[in-house]
Amino acid sequence: MKKRCFHTGMGVIFFCLLSVVCLFAMGQRESAAAEPVKIGYTISLSGVYTALGIDMRDGLNLYMEEIGHQAGGRKIEVLVEDIGSNQVSQAMDMARKLVQKNNIDILAGVVGTGSAYALAEFVQKYNIPFVISNAGADDLTQRKSNPLIVRPAFVNSGGSHPLGVWAYENGYRKAVAMGADYAAGYEHVGGICRTFTQMGGKIVQEIWPPLGTKDYAPYLAKISKEADVVMVFFAGADSLRFVKQFAEYGLDQRVALIGKGYLVDDNILPKQGASAKGIVTESHWCYLLDTPENDRFKKSFTAKYGHKPTLYAEQGYVTGMLIAEALNKTNGEIKGPEFVRIMRSLELKAPRGTVKFDEYGATIQNSYIRKVEEVDGEWQSVPIKTFPMVNQFWTWTGQDYMKMTPYLDMKGKWAQ
What DSSP state is assigned to residue 154? -
Asked if 221 and 246 count as a contact pair (C-beta separation under 8 A), the reply is no
In one letter, which amino acid is 183? A
Q: Are strands 229-233 and 202-207 parallel, antiparallel or unpaired?
A: unpaired
Domain ranges of the chain: 35-156+290-361, 160-283+367-390
Cα(360)–Cα(412) distance, integer angstroms: 29
Nearest to 116 by CA among 143, 147, 138: 138
CATH of domain 35-156+290-361: 3.40.50.2300
Burial group, residue 300, by CB count within 10 angstroms (0-12, 13-18, 19+): middle
Burial group, residue 136, by CB count within 10 angstroms (0-12, 13-18, 19+): buried
Nearest to 155 by CA among 63, 11, 284, 68: 284
Do the domains 35-156+290-361 and 160-283+367-390 sit in the same CATH topology, yes or no? Answer: yes
Q: Could you read off the pLDDT tens digit of each residue along the chain, which spans 416 residues?
A: 444 444 445 444 444 444 444 444 444 444 445 699 999 999 989 887 888 899 999 999 999 999 999 999 999 999 999 998 778 999 999 999 999 999 999 999 998 888 999 999 999 999 999 999 999 999 999 999 999 999 999 999 999 999 999 999 999 999 999 999 989 999 999 999 999 999 999 999 999 999 889 999 999 999 999 999 999 999 888 999 999 999 999 999 999 999 999 999 998 999 999 999 999 999 999 999 999 999 999 999 999 999 999 999 999 999 999 999 999 999 999 999 999 999 999 999 999 999 999 999 999 999 999 999 999 999 999 999 999 999 999 999 999 999 999 999 999 999 97
Cα(6)–Cα(283) distance, integer angstroms: 76
**Which run of H or E residues covers position 149?**
strand 149-150
CA terminus-to-terminus distance, the chain? 99
- CATH domain 160-283+367-390 topology: Rossmann fold (3.40.50)
Rounded to the nearest 10 degrees, what angle do helices 311-330 and 50-66 cross at? Answer: 40
